[in-house]
Amino acid sequence: MELGRDLKSRQEVRELVEKSSKAQEILRKKSQAEIDRIIKAIADCGVAHAEELARLAQEETGFGNVKDKIQKNLFASKTVYEAIRDQKTIGILHKDTERKVWDVGVPVGVVAGIAPSTNPTSTVLYKSLIALKGGNTIVFSPHPGAAKCTLKTVEYLMEAAEQAGCPAGAVSCITIPTMDAIEELMKHPQVKLILATGGEAMVRAAYSSGKPAIGVGAGNGPAYLHPSCHLKDAIEKIFRSKTFDNGTICASEQSIIYHKNMEKEVFSAIEAQGGCVLEGEEAEKLSRWILRCNGTMNPKIVGKTASEIAKMASLGEKAQKAKVLLAREDMVGDEHPFSREKLCPILALYAVENEEEALRLSCEILYHEGSGHTFAIHAEDGSVVEKFALQVPVSRFLVNTPSALGGIGASTGLFPALTLGCGAVGGSSSSNNIGPLDLINIRRVAWDTEKQVPKEHVASVDEELIEKITEKILEKFR
């Protein structure tokens, strides 16, 4: 009897996890030098196939553009490798001679890697590097809409890794992506940790699986233009961020907050950068394309250019030639689509009276959607930066940088990563840009630090006790 698709997918997951577990038993015994040779091979493979995989991802998903996806693949392989190359993750990591404590790196085991459709190939490159750097193996669950390019990436990586001494099955991918397969993977007893990147429902499923999970939250970061900023530079950076791979990075800006008395200069800078501010009926037309009836983001606009979206919404010629589409907004909530996350070149415009209103509005936007993720500020006044940094509920607070690139660590000193934790405020287990040290456990070896009793004192105490006990025994026989 032939198994149905769902049963086949479950069986495939069981076989992949079993093979991955056996590979991990071999991998965990390898030295730091052996592990490092493997991840170097993976990184080199990612660089060699960056363009091919970018084209495959764009063709299969229809999201983003090849040029920026190439940069994402290079970032996920070369940049991430440079950041983790010298990290110690295997064996004794540190010896504290004063406290008499050693830190020993211990792999978590088999990792379940959930890959999204927006960044499929780059996510596989990145997650494979950080998982194997810690001595772990990883089984990927691809998004059904990006299964081919995800599988091809895994095939390239596994071939390169095996040639460098990696056991077969250390990096693998489900070929029959179904909901049953994902459930089987996340709940499999040999899977020890879930590294989830995807939509809200997927991340929630990871956290409710009963397994340790590292996930992300929704991104909906505002960008605040303080009067002290270099306005032209700020708008240029926001547009660079919002158009990078057509806005598919969740750390990209979703709204611009500016003071009312700056509006003329702000709109002039927007127009100079190729933006189109929609008014009245056109803004209303576009708003109907942002969300589906169930309140979730409309997948038809994700990763599309502003021009493509303008044509979908039957907007005018000016909008169809724009790089970014913008519309005024003055409210926050599910019934206000421009206030929500939009993984495409669409931005909301909020005009405020002063700093206090900008701070209140920024927090309101993030608490509604995007808590713990990312916030951008453009300001030269350090006191304003400090004031906002102490109160805005995010894990990445970015100053004078394109938010999409700054959030992942491409244009800032943050750890380069494509999984961005949102901390407790965002429902995540970590607020880090996730790296290898998030995927290992630390075993502590600790020596006794109590003051030792001199031997002669111990001896005298023993003799005294013996004499007392002996005397008591003798009294019973007298």
pLDDT digits (tens, 9 = 90+) for 209-241: 889 999 888 899 999 999 999 999 999 999 999
- Maximum pairwise Cα distance, the chain: 118
- The answer to the question of residue 305 being in a domain is yes
Does residue 385 share a domain with residue 267? yes
Alpha-carbon distances of 88 from 79, 99, 190, rounded to whole Å: 17, 20, 25
Question: Is residue 425 assigned to a domain?
Answer: no
Amino acid identity for residue 53 in this structure: L
Interval 72-105: pLDDT, tens: 999 999 999 999 999 999 999 999 999 999 999 9
Structure tokens, 305: 């250019």
> Distance (Å, rounded) from C-alpha 84 to C-alpha 81?
5
> Do 63 and 80 fall within a single domain?
yes
Q: Reduced to 3 states, what is the DSSP secondary structure of residue 85? A: coil
pLDDT class of 203 with cuts at 50, 70, 90: confident
Residue 64 lies in a domain: yes
For residue 140, which amino acid is it? F
- On whether residue 339 sits in a domain, the answer given is yes
Q: Tell me the one-letter amino acid at 373.
A: H
Residue 77 within any structural domain of the chain = yes
Domain count, the chain: 2
Q: Name the band, by pLDDT with cuts 50, 70 and 90, for residue 450.
A: confident
Confidence of residue 207 (pLDDT cuts 50, 70, 90): confident
CB 349, CB 326: distance < 8 Å: yes
| Domain assignment of residue 142, yes or no | yes
Percentage of the chain surpassing pLDDT 70?
Answer: 94
Judge whether residue 439 has pLDDT over 70.
yes
Q: What is the structure's pLDDT at 1?
A: 43
Tell me whether residue 315 is in a domain.
yes
Q: Is the pLDDT of residue 2 over 60?
A: no
The residue with tokens 């006794």 is 448
Helix (H, G, I), strand (E, B) or coil at 141: strand
Owning domain of residue 63:
5-215+434-442
Whether 96 and 241 map to the same domain: the answer is no
**Which residues are 195's β-sheet partners?**
113, 214
Residues designated as active site: 250
**208 and 239 inside one domain:** no
Say what percent of the chain tops pLDDT 90. Answer: 86
**Mean model confidence pLDDT for the chain:** 93
Is the sign of the CA dihedral 19, 22, 28, 33 positive or negative? negative
Which CATH number characterizes residue 137's domain? 3.40.605.10
Does the pLDDT value for residue 3 go beyond 70? Answer: no
Q: For residue 241, which of 364, 343, 110, 105 has the smallest C-alpha distance?
A: 343
Please determine, for residue 467, whether its predicted confidence score (pLDDT) is greater than 70.
no
pLDDT tens digits along 335-373: 999 999 999 999 999 999 999 999 999 999 999 999 999
Question: In this structure, are 146 and 284 located in the same domain?
Answer: no
Task: Please give the pLDDT value at position 55.
Answer: 98
Whether residue 108 sits in one domain with residue 32: yes
What CATH number is attached to the domain comprising 326?
A: 3.40.309.10
Instruction: Enumerate the β-bridge partners of residue 276.
Output: 325
Can you give the C-alpha Rg of the chain in angstroms?
27
Q: Note whether 292 and 202 are same-domain residues.
A: no
